[in-house]
């Protein structure tokens, strides 16, 4: 029983590490995932790695090639646009619910999340990109806080999965947009505290579209 639990823990930890390495671009789009090399890197058995990679394939982060093995899912402008549209749809709906149900604790979470994000954005604006992953983590936390009072765990989980795919594009194909993005975050915070749904939805749409356009302008990591 204990050995089974230990195996599950090792497998889950390896899954999280590989997933994070894909999302943060340490495993590049299209990269062949050789089991023997992964075994050394993640200190995990080949059979466990197969299970992990099949799980990631079901999430769309890995492509299974039958007898030819696995590779990291490629990236394309078409895929980015679809992911962004789905993120906007989910986040807008969750935002509406959150604004209606949010209480003082929700406001406190939101203010705290924005404070951390704003501090990191200031560091990025100074030209220091050594904490890029922390910047994106605080970005994620702010947007999660924004919709955290929506009242639906399934909606939150679905949004988080889509946000991770969007985040992958941000890490691989998007650099810091600077003051524009920071200002959009501050305006989202203000609209949330005022419960101004229409303004918040408009800003969110501009925010996501701006990210897509910024990534497409760079284009190099995208296949089409």
CA torsion, points 35, 40, 42, 43, in degrees to nearest 10? 110
Per-residue pLDDT at 3: 41
Per-residue pLDDT at 171: 81
Read off the pLDDT of each residue in 193-213 and give the average, rounded to a whole number.
95
pLDDT, averaged across the chain: 89
Place of tokens 């992958």: 168
Does residue 127 or residue 163 have the better pLDDT?
A: 163
- Percentage of the chain modeled with pLDDT above 90: 71
* Tens digits of residue pLDDT in 7-37: 458 788 899 999 999 998 899 999 999 999 9
pLDDT above 80 for 219: no
């Amino acid at each position: 029983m204990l050995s089974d639990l230990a195996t599950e823990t090792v497998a889950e930890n390896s899954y999280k590490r590989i997933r994070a390495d894909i999302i943060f671009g340490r495993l590049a789009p299209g990269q062949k995932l050789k089991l023997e090399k992964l075994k050394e890197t993640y200190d995990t058995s080949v059979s466990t790695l197969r299970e992990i990679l099949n799980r990631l394939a079901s999430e769309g982060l890995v492509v299974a090639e039958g007898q030819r093995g696995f590779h990291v899912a490629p990236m394309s402008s078409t895929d980015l646009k679809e992911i962004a549209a789905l993120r906007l749809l989910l986040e807008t709906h969750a935002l509406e619910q959150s604004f209606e149900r949010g209480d003082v604790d929700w406001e406190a979470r939101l203010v705290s999340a924005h404070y951390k994000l704003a501090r990191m954005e200031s560091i990025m604006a100074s030209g220091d990109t050594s904490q890029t992953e922390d910047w994106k983590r605080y970005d994620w936390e702010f947007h999660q806080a924004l919709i955290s009072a929506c009242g639906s765990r399934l909606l939150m989980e679905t949004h988080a999965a889509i946000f991770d795919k969007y985040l992958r594009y941000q890490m691989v194909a998007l650099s810091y947009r600077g003051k524009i993005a920071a200002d959009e975050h501050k305006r989202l915070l203000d609209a949330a505290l005022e419960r101004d749904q229409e303004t918040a939805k408009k800003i969110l749409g501009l925010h996501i579209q701006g990210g897509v356009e910024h990534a497409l302008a760079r284009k190099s990591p995208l296949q089409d």
